[in-house]
Structure 1
Amino acid sequence: MQQCLAIDRATRWVFIELYADQTDGSSGDFLNKVQQACPVKIVKLLTDNGSQFTDRFTAGGKKKEPSGTHVFDRLCKQLGIEHRLIPPRHPQTNGMVERFNGRISDIVNQTRFGSAAELESTLRNYVKIYNHSIPQRALQHKTPVQALKEWHEKRPELFRKRVYNQPGLDI
Structure 2
Amino acid sequence: MNINVSQPFPIMIDELGTVMDYVEDRFLFVVKDEFWSEEEKAMLMRDPMEVDLYYRYDVAVFLVSAGDIDTSDFYFNVQECEWKAQLLSAGQLQASLILLDADNIVCCRRDVTFPKADSQQIIKLLQQQSEVRYHEGEFDVNAQGLMSALQPFEMQEKAAVKMKF
Same-fold call, TM cutoff 0.5: no
Which structure shows the higher strand fraction? Answer: 2
Coarse TM-score class (shorter-chain normalised): under 0.3
